[in-house]
Amino acid sequence: MADATPRITYDYVTRTIARTLGNPGRGYFLLLGAAVALLAVGIVTLLLLLRYGLGLAGYSHPVYWAVFITCFVFWVGIAHSGTLISAILFLFRSGWRTAVYRTAEAMTVFAVMTAGLFPLIHIGRQWYFYWLVPYPNERGLWPNFKSPLIWDEFAIGTYFTVSTVFLIMGLIPDIAAVRDLATGWRKKLYTLASVGWRGTNEEWRHYTRGYLYLAALATPLVLSVHSVVSWDFAMAIVPGWHATIFAPYFVAGAIYSGCAMVITLLVPIRTLFHLEELIAVKHFENLSKLCLLTGSIVGYAYVCEYFIAWFSGNPNERAAFWYRVFGPYWWASWTMIICNAFLPLLLWFKKIRTNLTALFVISIFVNIGMWFERYVIIVVSLAGEPYAPWANAVYNPTWADWGIMAGSFGWFFMWFLLFVKNFPAVSIAEVKEVLPPPRRTRAGAHA
């Protein structure tokens, strides 16, 4: 933190961040209540789906991958910027990440937890989910490892495990720091969770090395996960899906939506927990620059897709992309293009990059646009399948689709809000690391 005033000492950092664990006021509980209410909507919808079947959702031939899979890809995408900020920027030694990476990393874990629910809801009979796992069974059958859906299961499973242990590893020294200030039941919780951390040179020696390797492993992982998710589509022959550009296109889109979600989450958290001094406007500016970069890649990918559809000369490919922008779902395609490719161009202006209200609004529109991107790719490509158009029925999502989607937002925000209230939402040790260390030559207290 280059703009750190001498007032920001190690002790100040510990106490400011430990204060977020205190009573956060009414605004926090209103938000938490809203999240739990949304989750309740999702749970009731899920129970109805279990009772009456997936027919309650809007599935119609040939759209059998619809809002649930859209939400799955959306939430996996949200997860990605967390690992980008925590692992990739760690390897690049970017100092500014220290103030925001914990929130981004927690967002990753909870977004993957949310995403993981959707394939289960989508299969309809959740109690058979273990059929995905390669376990010895009486029929001697094994999963088909040539299927991208099995790759996806391994990729998401690995991603969830690794991002969770990465979050917990980063938390250990910080939990130890708040443990030494806490009292009561929190003291017991943090004593258990900090696994006896004392900050000895031996602990730091193994910890810093291990953290470096975890970051080095998480970096290729994050790039692989959304590539594998994109191959769920790209390996199929549906026009609009079968494209080699999908892996980088999806990874850029994922980081784009994730950075937008970090901004959406950090703006209220910064105000609710009074972290203005640690999370400065400069951090938001850097996040919005990341948005601008990845948003431009996404915009470029859109142009490429349409160009290749035309340039391929394949009538089915051309028909699919014509259907996207001028077919019955034109509004979804144009929402996606305007929100993702044009709106972020505002971020070229420094005035907008440093205006938190503007950033908050733009980030919400980017989230909407990115949700519609997945909707367009998945649903509209299927609905417009040009092979047997007379057999295609009209697809419309129903209340069951929206109910589950609302529930997923409730689930995500509930975990996130509980996390920021009960664990250090900003990394204590890493914020201290970018401060100048206390030296007696500067302080002049000792001879």
Partner 1 sequence: MSTHLPHIPLPQPLHDIFRPPPTPGVLGVFAYLDATLEAIEKLRAAGHTDFTVYSPIPRHEIEDALGQAVSPVRMFTLIGGIAGCGFGAWLTLWMSYDWPVVVGGKPIGAIPPYVVIMFEMTILFGALSTILGILFNAAFAARRLGTIQWDPRFTNDKFGIFVPTEPDKAAAAEALLRGAGAEEVRRG
Q: Using CB under 8 A as the criterion, which residues of the chain lie in contact with partner 1 when the complex forms? A: 9-11, 14, 134, 140-147, 150-151, 154-155, 157-158, 161-162, 165-166, 169, 173, 176-177, 179-181, 195-210, 213-214, 217-218, 220-221, 224, 228, 429-430, 432-433, 437-441, 443, 445-446
Which residue, 101 or 256, is less far from partner 1 as judged by CB?
101
Query: For tokens 């390996």, what's the residue?
Result: 235
Q: Is the separation of the CB atoms in 239 and 319 below 8 Å?
A: yes
- In angstroms, give the least distance from the CB of 269 to partner 1: 23
Dihedral (CA of 330, 336, 339, 342) sign: negative
Q: How far apart are CA 76 and CA 258, in angstroms?
A: 9
Which residue, 258 or 424, is less far from partner 1 as judged by CB?
424
Backbone angles phi and psi of 387, in degrees to 5:
-75, -40
Which residue, 247 or 376, is less far from partner 1 as judged by CB?
247
- In angstroms, give the least distance from the CB of 374 to partner 1: 21
Which residue, 187 or 282, is less far from partner 1 as judged by CB?
187
Record the tokens describing residue 299, joined without a space. Answer: 């915009």
Residue 301: how many other CB atoms lie within 10 Å: 20
- In angstroms, give the least distance from the CB of 128 to partner 1: 19
**Which residues are CB-contacts of 345 (< 8 A; sequence separation ≥ 6)?**
none
Q: How far apart are CA 356 and CA 361, in angstroms?
A: 9
Which residue, 134 or 328, is less far from partner 1 as judged by CB?
134
The amino acid at residue 204 is W
Record the tokens describing residue 170, joined without a space. Answer: 């980063």
Q: Is the separation of the CB atoms in 226 and 76 below 8 Å?
A: yes
- In angstroms, give the least distance from the CB of 204 to partner 1: 4
Which residue, 150 or 358, is less far from partner 1 as judged by CB?
150
Which residue, 110 or 197, is less far from partner 1 as judged by CB?
197
- In angstroms, give the least distance from the CB of 70 to partner 1: 23
- The DSSP secondary-structure symbol of 64 reads -
Residue 270: how many other CB atoms lie within 10 Å: 24
Residue 124: how many other CB atoms lie within 10 Å: 14
Which residue, 211 or 399, is less far from partner 1 as judged by CB?
211
If we measure between CA atoms, which residue out of 178, 207, 206, 202 comes closest to residue 190? 178
Q: How far apart are CA 252 and CA 331, in angstroms?
A: 23
The amino acid at residue 29 is F
- In angstroms, give the least distance from the CB of 4 to partner 1: 14
- In angstroms, give the least distance from the CB of 76 to partner 1: 14
CA angle (126, 129, 131) in 5-degree steps = 145
Query: For tokens 């009573």, what's the residue?
Result: 23
- In angstroms, give the least distance from the CB of 116 to partner 1: 15
Which residue, 57 or 222, is less far from partner 1 as judged by CB?
222
Length of the chain: 447
- In angstroms, give the least distance from the CB of 250 to partner 1: 15
Q: Is the separation of the CB atoms in 1 and 8 below 8 Å?
A: yes
